[in-house]
Amino acid sequence: MSLKPVANPYSGGGCFFCGEKNPIGLKLKFLETESEPRELVCRWQPDQRYRGLGRVLHGGIQSGLFDEIMGWATHYLLERSGVTGSLHITFHRPLYIDDPLELRCRIEGIEGRQVHLSAEITNPAGEVCTRATGTYILLPGDKFRELVGPGD
């Protein structure tokens, strides 16, 4: 499958998940599938800083990964600004630190200002370990900037 890099539109670089200038951030990079359905993809290898119990990748980090890729999918695939309305996550099997993972997200539908998304995280064997669905609320650019404030 062919993937193309997605440029980071957030010039400030301070985001914990995608900011290049955040010294403690994950510095995630996103790719877009070049076939239908359009998806955003992120490949990342967590290390021991992100563990929960034992070798398991912390569920809070996984939740943040879903929120991040869904926000990017809304912004990039729709060319619109949006904020998280809801996020539902199901943990099927553990993901482990030091194992590379792949995160994928797609838009399932749009109803008015609501964007419905789905995503999953797979382990190196290609098994889906965690799934999420979410709803983002589309906002006009000025309202979005008012809510998030200055910066990225």
Report the candidate in 49, 46, 55, 48 with the shortest Cα–Cα distance to residue 121.
46
Can you tell me which residue has the tokens 């398991």? 56
Rounded to two decimals, the pTM is: 0.94
Residue-wise pLDDT tens digits, 27-53 = 999 999 988 889 999 999 999 999 999
Query: Exposure of 102 by Cβ count < 10 A (0-12 exposed, 13-18 middle, 19+ buried)?
Result: middle
Please give the class, per CATH, of domain 3-148. Answer: alpha beta
Residue-wise pLDDT tens digits, 90-118 = 999 999 999 999 999 999 999 999 999 99
**Amino acid in position 96:** Y
The H-assigned helical ranges of the chain are 59-78, 141-148
Structural domain boundaries in the chain: 3-148
CA 18 to mean position of chain CA atoms: 9
Give the dihedral of Cα atoms 83, 19, 12, 31; nearest 10 deg: -70
